[in-house]
Amino acid sequence: MLNKELDAEDSAVTDDVFMRRAMELAALAEAEGEVPVGAVVVHDGVIIGEGWNRSIGHHDATAHAEMMALRQAGQMLQNYRLIDTTLYVTLEPCPMCAGAIVHSRVGKVVFGAHDAKTGAAGSVMNLLSYEGVNHHVLFQGDVLATECRAQLQAFFKRRRAEKKAAKLLARQQQHDD
């Protein structure tokens, strides 16, 4: 029993370490003007793929953090099948990413914040593990959820304030003309 408790404790520490790396990558996305989501793919305790949202900068709707990390991991393993890997991501995967995760045969997804609008790992739908899919992905949410959610909320709060300030400036300029 003690070994199981220690294993669970070790797993939680490991999950935190990899999620914190995903949060660092999310900060890179934010610095590029992207929604701050970061992801890492881990195999045998080693990060083999990293990604952060780059859809705007790459002009590519598929350039989500998960997709970028999956691509890099596939190159690293020289295989699109990422069997026995774990994907850590700061936000619950969307349907597109969930589909790629299933097709990549990822073993487990660990995410931070739930996505009440498009979450495909249980919040809105579950595309990672349902009867009609050929591969079932284990998943766990709420790892550093408070921190992940705060990172996203701060970004959107700042973005709303910037848009409001730009509208106000535009009105003032119109009034001055």
pLDDT in tens, 34-51: 999 999 999 999 999 999
Q: Does the pLDDT value for residue 119 go beyond 50? A: yes
Numbered residues of the known binding site = 64, 94, 97
Instruction: Judge contact between 23 and 147, C-beta under 8 A.
Output: yes
pLDDT at res. 21: 98
Q: pLDDT per residue over 88-116, tens digit each?
A: 999 999 999 999 999 999 999 999 999 99
Catalytic residue among 66, 131, 147, 162: 66
Model pTM score: 0.89
- What is the rounded distance in angstroms from the CA atom of residue 50 to the CA atom of residue 65? 8
Instruction: Judge contact between 127 and 99, C-beta under 8 A.
Output: yes
112-134: average pLDDT: 92
Active site residue 147: no
Q: pLDDT per residue over 138-164, tens digit each?
A: 999 999 999 999 999 999 999 888 888
pLDDT at res. 2: 38
Instruction: Say if domain 15-174 classifies as CATH 3.40.140.10.
Output: yes
Output the CA torsion 118→120→123→125 (10° steps).
100
Task: Tokens for 88, please give them.
Answer: 């850590």
Q: Does the pLDDT value for residue 8 go beyond 70? A: no
Numbered residues of the known binding site for Zn(2+) = 64, 94, 97
Instruction: Judge contact between 66 and 93, C-beta under 8 A.
Output: yes
